[in-house]
Amino acid sequence: MMELAALKVQARERCLSILGGFHSNSDDKTPEGCKTLLLLGPDEPHFWSHLKTSPEGVDGASDPVDRWSKRVIDDWARHLNASAVYPFGGPPYAPFFSWALRSGRIEASPIQLLVHDVAGLFVSFRGALALPVHVDLSEPEPGPCMSCSDTPCKNACPVDAFARKSYDVETCKTYLQTRAGQDCMDNGCKARRACPVSQRFGRLPEQSAYHMRQFLGA
């Protein structure tokens, strides 16, 4: 029988964190035979320094984070007789957004981006493990937005890219290419940084800058 505590230790040994999970049913679109799905993210703040010295981090090829994720999680999945699933490599893409909401530890924030009870608006997925066994999971805690009366994320974006019901991607990208947008490029999205939970998470600005360049296509 697999225990969640032991899996968390194995995740940390791989510079990963178990962000949450759920017991799969026929509506979840999980891999065949999956009984428990665990969502995996970077173990901060250790992840980035580990990634930079990994084979993918030093070989100069593109997409080092995704390639590292696939190598490490594929290997772990084989060890557990599980399937590995990724939010990249599609289409079609696995439904990580709906899986995140199923976990009970992640919710949609006031700006509609996912927010995690530990990672805040810096939550990101490196992959997921689809396990063929039932793993007892922790009871979910109240979502972080429940106790956040000021909702600073709603007012942090310099160009109000989250002011409407959907995220205005083009306005955001246009701003990032200006001198004024350099702060977001160097340190990460201001709306994500405004979240009080994000501020306690410990993600390094260098890692945020990498993801901003990836987002912009630079």
How many folded domains does the chain comprise? 1
User: Dmax over Cα atoms in the chain, in whole Å?
Assistant: 55
The parent domain of residue 179 ranges over 4-138+145-216
Sign of the dihedral through C-alpha 102, 106, 107, 113 = negative
Nearest CA to 80 out of 144, 20, 10, 156 is that of: 10
Whether residue 98 has pLDDT greater than 80: yes
Q: Give the per-residue pLDDT at 2.
A: 87
Residue 67's φ and ψ, nearest 5 degrees, are -65, -40
Q: What is the pLDDT of residues 126-165, one digit of tens each?
A: 999 999 999 999 888 778 898 888 899 999 999 999 988 8
Determine the Cα–Cα distance for residues 130 and 207; give it in Å rounded to an integer.
27
Determine the Cα–Cα distance for residues 93 and 194; give it in Å rounded to an integer.
29
CB 189 within 8 A of CB 115: no
Q: What is the pLDDT of residues 3-53, one digit of tens each?
A: 999 999 999 999 999 999 999 998 999 999 999 999 999 999 999 999 999
- Sheet harboring 127-131: ordered strands across? 16-23, 36-42, 127-131, 83-85
Q: Give the per-residue pLDDT at 218.
A: 61
Q: Give the per-residue pLDDT at 165.
A: 81
Q: What is the per-residue burial (b if ≥16 Cβ within 10 Å, else e) of 173-199? A: eebbeeeebeebbebbbbbbbbbebbe
Residue 120's φ and ψ, nearest 5 degrees, are 60, -140
Whether residue 104 has pLDDT greater than 90: no
Q: Structure pTM?
A: 0.94
Q: Please compute the mean of the pLDDT values over residues 178-183 and round it to a whole number.
A: 97
Q: What is the pLDDT of residues 182-201, one digit of tens each?
A: 999 999 999 999 999 999 99
